């Protein structure tokens, strides 16, 4: 029985795993050593013995997972070893401290992208292309219908909307996720905001982490139950269910998300197409720039895998790295090819 050599990184029930260095990348369950690409809850989960992340994202990780977790940090580009494996973290441009993970053994280089984007974002470092042999890419917006308009001044557009409503004595509620999107909005608004932005309490502590990393955020005031007129309120979508919302009087709503591009306004008065993920063109550009000869696609893999194959790039869904495919069953002899 012949089995292919086990790849440097495999896909396991706990997530991406590097056996040679005995570590996981963004594990789904508690493990001994977890390299975390960023602090979003689908990437950073509780219970692991040790976390490794980029320095500027460490406080966000602790805010999310608990102050007592053990965290080892490295700066972008700084290399370290786990076993014989050489590792370094490189900016993913997704949220503060977000990192692609570069993994090297015996001259073979893998990069696991985590979530990334290439659009300008004043709240975090810009994306860095990292050359590699094998690239594991996310593809949240991995179909050709998702193409962002470039060079949009989001801060000015959002501020114009706020002013327009304020003139009519109406509040503006802008929805965005509390980590990453909310702080990007505050950073985009920083040059424009003429008074403090009212923020939901779930956004407050995370925003302070950004300020401590010297990111310029618009001035903020935490939402309390007082009457408001002509204010901009930044909140996660869940607040409309809270029982004090009647205090907001007359208001207009907007949602800031890449999903706004193709879903109409989805029940909001206004949609700002503002994504923290790469669009179709940037996914393809990034893959090209890495020079990878083999690409594995996570999340929405179908269209991107087909498109890459048509261009002669060896592309696979992440399931093709399933550790089971490289593990002999009992009774089978392992011969590496």
- Shortest distance, position 184 Cβ to Zn ion, whole Å: 12
- Shortest distance, position 94 Cβ to Zn ion, whole Å: 6
**Stretch of 35-43, 146-154, 198-206, 249-257 contacting Zn ion, by CB under 5 A:** 35-43
Indicate the residue among 42 and 225 with the shorter CB distance to Zn ion.
42
Indicate the residue among 115 and 279 with the shorter CB distance to Zn ion.
115
- Shortest distance, position 93 Cβ to Zn ion, whole Å: 11
User: CA geometry: angle at 131 spanning 126 and 136, to 5°?
Assistant: 85
| Per-residue contact flags (x/-) with Zn ion for residues 239 to 278, judged by CB under 5 A | ----------------------------------------
Q: What separation, in Å, do the N-terminal and C-terminal C-alpha atoms of the chain show?
A: 10
Among 17, 40, 90, 118, interactor with Zn ion by CB under 5 A: 40
Indicate the residue among 122 and 230 with the shorter CB distance to Zn ion.
122
Interface positions, 59-98, toward Zn ion (CB under 5 A): none
Indicate the residue among 57 and 172 with the shorter CB distance to Zn ion.
57
Q: Measuring CA to CA, how many Å separate 279 from each of 88, 186, 265, 296, 326?
A: 25, 22, 19, 17, 33
Nearest 5°: phi and psi at 222? -75, 135
Q: With contacts defined by CB under 5 A, how many residues of the chain interact with Zn ion?
A: 3
- Shortest distance, position 42 Cβ to Zn ion, whole Å: 5
- Shortest distance, position 309 Cβ to Zn ion, whole Å: 24
- Shortest distance, position 192 Cβ to Zn ion, whole Å: 26
CA atoms within 13 A on the CB side of 279: 18
**Stretch of 34-42, 61-69, 155-163, 321-329 contacting Zn ion, by CB under 5 A:** 34-42
Indicate the residue among 42 and 106 with the shorter CB distance to Zn ion.
42
Q: What is the bridge-based pairing of β-strands 85-91 and 99-105?
A: antiparallel
Indicate the residue among 95 and 132 with the shorter CB distance to Zn ion.
95
- Shortest distance, position 43 Cβ to Zn ion, whole Å: 6
**Stretch of 26-34, 37-45, 148-156, 281-289 contacting Zn ion, by CB under 5 A:** 37-45
Nearest 5°: phi and psi at 129? -80, 130
Give the pair of three-digit tokens for residue 247: 């205090």
User: CA geometry: angle at 44 spanning 74 and 308, to 5°?
Assistant: 85
Indicate the residue among 142 and 165 with the shorter CB distance to Zn ion.
142
Q: How many residues does the chain have?
A: 337
**Stretch of 42-50, 55-63, 141-149, 245-253 contacting Zn ion, by CB under 5 A:** 42-50
Interface positions, 110-129, toward Zn ion (CB under 5 A): 115
- Shortest distance, position 92 Cβ to Zn ion, whole Å: 9
Q: How far apart are alpha carbons 173 and 139 in whole angstroms?
A: 29
The secondary structure of residue 336, as a DSSP letter, is E
Residues sharing a CB contact under 8 Å with residue 116, sequence separation 6 or more, in sequence order: 92, 93, 94, 98, 100, 127, 138, 277, 278, 286
Indicate the residue among 319 and 334 with the shorter CB distance to Zn ion.
319
Q: How far apart are alpha carbons 72 and 53 in whole angstroms?
A: 7
| 3-state SS, residue 118 | coil
Residues sharing a CB contact under 8 Å with residue 316, sequence separation 6 or more, in sequence order: 294, 295, 296, 297, 305
In the complex, the residues that contact Zn ion under the rule CB under 5 A are: 40, 42, 115
């Amino acid at each position: 029985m012949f089995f292919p050599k086990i790849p440097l990184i495999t896909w396991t029930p706990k997530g991406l795993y590097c056996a040679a260095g005995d570590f996981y990348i963004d594990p789904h369950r508690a493990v001994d050593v977890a390299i975390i690409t960023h602090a979003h809850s689908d990437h950073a989960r509780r219970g692991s013995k040790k976390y490794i992340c980029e320095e500027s994202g460490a406080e966000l990780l602790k805010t999310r997972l608990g102050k007592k977790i053990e965290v080892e940090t490295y700066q972008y580009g700084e290399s370290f070893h786990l076993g014989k494996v050489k590792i370094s973290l490189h900016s993913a441009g997704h949220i503060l401290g977000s990192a692609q993970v570069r993994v090297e053994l015996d001259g073979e280089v893998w990069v696991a992208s985590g979530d990334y984007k290439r659009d300008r974002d004043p709240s975090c470092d810009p994306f860095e292309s990292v050359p590699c042999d094998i690239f594991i890419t996310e593809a949240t917006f991995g179909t050709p219908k998702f193409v962002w308009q470039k060079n949009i001044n989001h801060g000015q557009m959002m501020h114009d909307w706020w002013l327009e409503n304020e003139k009519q004595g109406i509040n503006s509620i802008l929805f965005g996720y509390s980590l990453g999107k909310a702080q990007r909005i505050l950073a985009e608004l920083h040059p424009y905001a003429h008074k403090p932005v009212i923020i939901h309490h779930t956004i407050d502590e995370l925003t302070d982490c950004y300020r401590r990393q010297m990111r310029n955020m618009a001035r903020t005031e935490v939402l309390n139950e007082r009457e408001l007129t002509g204010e901009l309120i930044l909140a996660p979508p869940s607040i409309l269910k809270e029982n004090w919302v009647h205090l907001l009087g007359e208001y207009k709503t907007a949602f800031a998300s890449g999903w706004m591009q193709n879903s109409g306004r989805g029940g909001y008065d206004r949609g700002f197409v503002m994504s923290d993920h790469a669009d179709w063109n940037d996914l393809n550009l990034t893959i090209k720039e890495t020079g990878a000869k083999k690409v594995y696609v996570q999340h929405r893999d179908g269209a991107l895998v087909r498109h890459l194959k048509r261009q002669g790039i060896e592309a696979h869904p992440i399931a093709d790295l399933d550790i089971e495919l490289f593990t002999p069953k009992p009774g089978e002899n392992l011969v590496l090819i």
